[in-house]
Amino acid sequence: MSNYFGGANHHTRRRCLNHSQSNSWLRLLDRLLRWSERSRRSAAFRDLADNPHLLRDIGLTRREAIEEADKPIWR
- Whether residue 21 lies inside any domain: the answer is yes
Rounded to a whole number, what is the largest CA-CA distance in the chain?
Answer: 72
Q: What's the whole-model pTM score?
A: 0.63
Q: What is the pLDDT along the chain (75 residues), one digit of tens a residue?
A: 444 445 555 555 556 556 667 789 999 999 999 999 999 999 999 999 999 999 999 999 999 999 999 999 887
- Whether residue 2 lies inside any domain: the answer is no
Three-state DSSP class for residue 73: coil
Question: What is the total count of domains within the chain?
Answer: 1
Task: Count Cβ atoms within 10 A of the Cβ of residue 69 and give its class: 0-12 exposed, 13-18 middle, 19 or more buried.
Answer: middle
Three-state DSSP class for residue 60: coil
Range of the structural domain that residue 22 is part of: 10-70
